[in-house]
Amino acid sequence: MLRPWPADDGGLVRIRLVGGRVRPAALVALGEVAAEHGDGELHLTTRANLQLRGLPLHDGRLPAQVLAAVEATGLLPSRTHELARNVLVSPLTGVAGGRADLRPVAAELDARLCASPALASLPGRFLFVLDDGRGDLVDLQGLVRRGPDLGLVALDATTAQLRHGREGWGDVVPLTDAAAALVHLAERFTRLRGTEASAPWHVDELAAPLAARRPRDPRTRVREEPIDRGTASGPGWTHLAVPDGTLSPRLLAELDPSGPDLVVTPWHGIVIPRSTREHD
| Same-domain check for residues 186 and 124 | yes
Give the residue with greater pLDDT, 240 vs 65.
Answer: 65
What pLDDT is recorded for position 234? 79
Find out whether 261 and 233 touch, Cβ atoms under 8 Å. no
From 183, 202, 220, the end of a domain falls on 220
Q: Quick check: 143 pLDDT over 50?
A: yes
| Same-domain check for residues 212 and 126 | yes
CA distance from start to end of the chain = 36
Q: Is residue 87 part of a domain?
A: no
CB proximity list for 115: less than 8 A, separation 6 or greater: none
| Same-domain check for residues 65 and 155 | no
- Angstrom distance (rounded) from CA 37 to CA 151: 36
Give the residue with greater pLDDT, 118 vs 254.
Answer: 118
Q: Whole-prediction pTM value? A: 0.92
| Same-domain check for residues 36 and 106 | no
What pLDDT is recorded for position 134? 96
The region, left, alpha or beta by phi > 0 then psi within -120 to 50, assigned to residue 98 is left
Of 165, 156, 154, nearest in space to 127 by CA: 165
CB proximity list for 122: less than 8 A, separation 6 or greater: 83, 84, 113, 186, 189, 190
**Burial of residue 5, with CB atoms counted within 10 A of its CB: 0-12 exposed, 13-18 middle, 19 or more buried:** middle
Give the residue with greater pLDDT, 198 vs 144.
Answer: 198
Give the residue with greater pLDDT, 75 vs 226.
Answer: 75
| Same-domain check for residues 71 and 167 | no
- The total of structural domains in the chain comes to 2
What pLDDT is recorded for position 229? 62
CA pseudo-torsion sign 273, 25, 5, 187: negative
Under DSSP, the state recorded for 17 is -
| Same-domain check for residues 144 and 259 | no
Strands (E), the chain: 5-7, 10-15, 21-22, 42-44, 50-55, 87-89, 128-131, 150-154, 159-164, 168-174, 232-234, 237-241, 246-247, 262-265, 269-272
Q: Quick check: 275 pLDDT over 80?
A: no
| Same-domain check for residues 206 and 99 | yes
Q: Is residue 86 part of a domain?
A: no
What pLDDT is recorded for position 277? 42
What pLDDT is recorded for position 236? 81
- Angstrom distance (rounded) from CA 104 to CA 49: 19
Q: Is residue 41 part of a domain?
A: yes
Q: What are phi and psi of 64, to 5 degrees?
A: -55, -35
Q: Quick check: 278 pLDDT over 50?
A: no
Give the residue with greater pLDDT, 106 vs 276.
Answer: 106
Under DSSP, the state recorded for 279 is T
CATH code of the domain covering residue 277: 3.90.480.20
Q: Is residue 82 part of a domain?
A: no
For residues 147-169, give the mean pLDDT: 96
Q: What are phi and psi of 74, to 5 degrees?
A: 85, 5
Domain boundaries, position 125:
92-220
What pLDDT is recorded for position 231? 65
Residues 44-98: pLDDT tens digits? 999 999 999 999 999 999 999 999 999 999 999 988 898 899 999 999 999 889 9
| Same-domain check for residues 206 and 127 | yes
From 176, 193, 220, the end of a domain falls on 220
From 168, 185, 220, the end of a domain falls on 220
Residues 173-183: pLDDT tens digits? 999 999 999 99
| Same-domain check for residues 105 and 190 | yes
The percent of residues in the chain predicted with pLDDT above 70, rounded, is 95
Mean per-residue pLDDT of the chain: 91
Q: Is residue 147 part of a domain?
A: yes
What SS3 class is residue 121?
helix
Q: Quick check: 201 pLDDT over 60?
A: yes
